[in-house]
Each structure stands twice: as structure tokens, then as C-alpha cells.
Structure 1
């Protein structure tokens, strides 16, 4: 039995709407996308296989929101209470506002398994997939909470590295992975970006800061637009020029110059 038949048959046996459900299961197992009570937004969600997986993982205390031009058939009572669907264009502000309202302005994970209509021309299909991935990325930046995660499908090709670099600038780290359930002949990969950064600084920045306090580990504590920066060896009351060395979602580290 071919592997593609295995995942198709498995989805039918286990009640998933698409074989792609297993891709998301495998991404989550490898990268830890979901937690109980999370709010998840799935872009291009029809027919709803990824919504089913996300709903299982976040549980009844979570919220799962699917966005698509196409109508997504209602779910049975098992998931219905915590899956909401929005019919619209993810790039339009009205649709994003509906997402924010449904999510309560706190989104933990944004997903996109979108693919372009295939032409058979490899470079054109790659370019279109990158365009869709960028649209999903821009939406993720608009709606994701600090520390949130993003996973997006894209076809391999010349523009993949640039896309990954742009995503890396907005998250703590990014991994490229291919789930076992992807078809052998497919050129698809998934970029999984962890821990959305909303800090006003990035590694390599040089700035002048005032040390307001000293932490328990002896590092000076400075604030940059409300963001906490730990400065190695600095004392309270000092004003120092520093280079930012590491940025996490809610704090960062710097070294005096």
C-alpha cells in the first residue's frame, strides 16, 4: 500500500476530514505548537481537518477559529462549542477584526496549510506559494500575541530562504520541517516559527540605557519602551551604551560596550 493511501485511509477510519490532519499532528508532536486553553487561528481552513486536530489539542477551554473564502461544514457536537468559522479574506482588515473579536485579542497560534492552484510550472507554483505564505505571515504579525507561534506551508525554491529570513526577524527561532504525512512527490515544507517577538530591540542593536535596578543574578535592569533588558555587570544608576545580544518574547540581554 502506498504511503499516500495509508494516510488517506487512516483519516477516513479516524474521522478526520483530510489526510493533512496528520501533518499537523506530526508538526505539533515535533514542535509543540499547542497547549490546553490556547487560541488558534487557521488560515485557509477548509475543509476543516486542521481545525479538528487543533480543537482536540487545545480542549474545551480553548478557542479554534477557521478562516476561508469557502464555507466550512459545521462540526458535530464534539467540537462545535469551541470551533468558530469566519468566511472571508484573511488579508482584509474586516476579516482580521472578526478574528480579533472571536479570539478576544489574544491569539497563541496561527496556522496556514494553504497552497496555490497548481499550474505544473514549478517556479510559478513556488512563487505563488511564497505569496500565500507571506500573506499568512503578515496576518500572523497582526493578530499573534507576544510569544505566539506560527506554522505555514510553502513550496521549496529560490525564494524560500528570503521568506525564512523575514520570519526569523519576528520570532525567537524558525525551523524548516517536512511531516511524514507529506507526499513523497511533494516539494512542500513547513516553516515553524516559535515565540513571536514584539520587543522594540533586536540582537545586534546598540543603544544607550539607564540601569534602574539590579536583578537577583547581579545583572543591571533597564527598560526600553517598557521592555526589560538585563545588562551584564551594570550597576543601578549607571547610564551605559550596550549591544543587545539576545531577545526573548518578554525580556532580553545586553553587554556593555
Structure 2
């Protein structure tokens, strides 16, 4: 049986609206994207296959919000809300912010693809454009430590998009799930653990050591963000260079005369 028939038939049998539901299932299995209680946003959600999978994974205590210019037929799941609109427009974003809540989203998903022209370079460029739109919207929606998934066709514009994502997430990986058609050039870029720190690796700044951690490192605050400084003592004001950034804290080394 051909792969496309396998997943198409399986979707029909199991009640999913699209065979692409299995792509999200496989992405979730390999990258731990969705957990019970999560708030998930699906950009370009029609016809709703990814909404169904996300709804199952986040459970009754989670929320799933789907956005699309097209009307999404209502789902039976109580934890799913749909918004009809352009994800890049302010009124749609306002509806999204209200639906998500003050804590932000835990994961943003995008399976969007352009209308195919058959001209590969054009289709690739359009797919990167859509993925970049989803990426930029996700930066506004994601909570610290949140994840992003975007679909893109492989090609020369991909490295720049990946590089930009790597600046905003702890790490980024590309994957081609088994449910994707073998001949397809589509890839999914997965950004894990959104970094919302006010500092970036390589930054230099002057900080005051306000406490000492359990490992003996000095603790400083930059806009309420915690920075661990090796070789510093409480009460010192030191110049440091940021060496590593995590979603909720960073590490730094002294660059002044200790």
C-alpha cells in the first residue's frame, strides 16, 4: 500500500479531518511538543486535523486555539477555540491574546503551505515567507520556554530562517516525519524552549551581585532576569560577559579585574 494511501485511509478510519494529523503525532512523539494542560496555537489551522491531535494531547485542562482565513468547521472538543482572520493583523492578534491568557502560549504550530505553482523556487520562497510570518507571530505569543513548529520547503532560503530562529530558541532542529510523502521536499523546523531573556550570549554589562547561589556563584538581576556570575561575591558591582542563556536564567563570567 502506498504511503499516502495508508495515512489517508487511517485518517478516514480514525476520524481525523486530514492525513496531516499523523505528521503532528509523529512530530510530537519525537520532540515532546504537547503536554497535558498546555496552551497551543495552530496558525493556518483549516481543516482542523492538527487541532484534533493537539486537543487530544493537551487534554481537558489545556486549550487549543486555531486561526485561519478560512472557516474551520466546528469541532466537538470543548478545549478548542477557532478564530477566523489573518494572523498578522492586529485585531486577530488581539483575539488570540485574549483566548491565550496572560501566561502566553506553550507551543505554536504552523502547517501552512502556499498554493502550489509547480515552479519549485517560487513555491520554496513562498513557503519560507509563510513560515517566517508564523515565526514572527509566535515570538509575540510564546511564553518563556515555549516551542514552535513551522513547515517549509527545503531550498536556499532555509538557512537564513533557521539562523533567525536559532537566535530566539535554545535549539532548532529540522525533521521530515514519516507521514510526509516520500517525494515531498517539506521539512518541519522545530524551535525548542523560547528565550525571552533581556540579555544574549556575548553581551557585556555591569551588574550588582545581590545574592549567592547554592553552587557558590554570584546572583545578579537584569530587568528581574537572573544571571549567575562565577567568581563574584555578594555586594560587588562587576562587569560581566554573558556566556550562556537559558529560558529563565543566564550564566556569565567576569571581564573586569577580579
TM-score by length of 1: 0.97
The match for 1:25 is: 25
Q: CA deviation at 1:142?
A: 1.1
What is the 5 A alignment of 1:110-125? 110-125=108-123
Name the counterpart of 2:228: 230
Deviation at 1:180, TM superposition (A): 0.7
The Cα shift of 1:195 comes to 1.0
> Equivalent residue for 2:85?
88
Alpha-carbon distance between aligned partners in 2 of 1:245 and 1:121, rounded to the nearest angstrom:
44
Report Cα offsets for 1:194-245 as digits up to 9, x if no partner. 1111101111112221111111110000011111000112111112221111
Residues 137-156 of structure 1 mapped to structure 2, 5 A cutoff: 137-156=135-154
How many Å separate the matches in 1 of 2:203 and 2:59?
A: 40
Matches of 1:172 and 1:93 in 2, distance apart?
28
- Give the CA deviation at 1:170: 0.8
Listed as ranges, the matches of 1:16-95 within 5 Å are 16-76=16-76, 79=77, 81-95=78-92
Unaligned runs of 5+ in 1: none
Tell me, what secondary structure is at the counterpart of 1:148?
strand
**Unpaired stretches in structure 2, ≥5 consecutive residues:** none
How far apart, in 2, do the equivalents of 1:52 and 1:160 lie? 29
- 2:217 paired with 1:219: yes
May I ask how many residue pairs the two structures share in their alignment? 254
| Match for residue 195 of structure 2 among 170, 194, 197 | 197
Q: Could you tell me how far apart the structure 1 residues matched to 2:2 and 2:99 are?
A: 41
Hey, what's the Cα distance between the residues in 2 that align with 1:256 and 1:177?
39
Displacement of 1:88 after TM fit?
0.2
Shift of 1:153: 0.2
Partner of 2:13: 13
* Ranges of 4+ aligned residues in structure 1 off by more than 4 Å: none
The SS at the match of 1:161 is helix
Once residues 102 and 119 of structure 1 are traced to their aligned partners in structure 2, the CA distance between those partners, rounded to angstroms, is 35
Over aligned residue pairs, what C-alpha RMSD do you find?
0.8
Tell me, in whole angstroms, the C-alpha distance in 1 between the residues paired with 2:107 and 2:95. 16
Say whether 1:104 aligns with 2:101.
Answer: yes
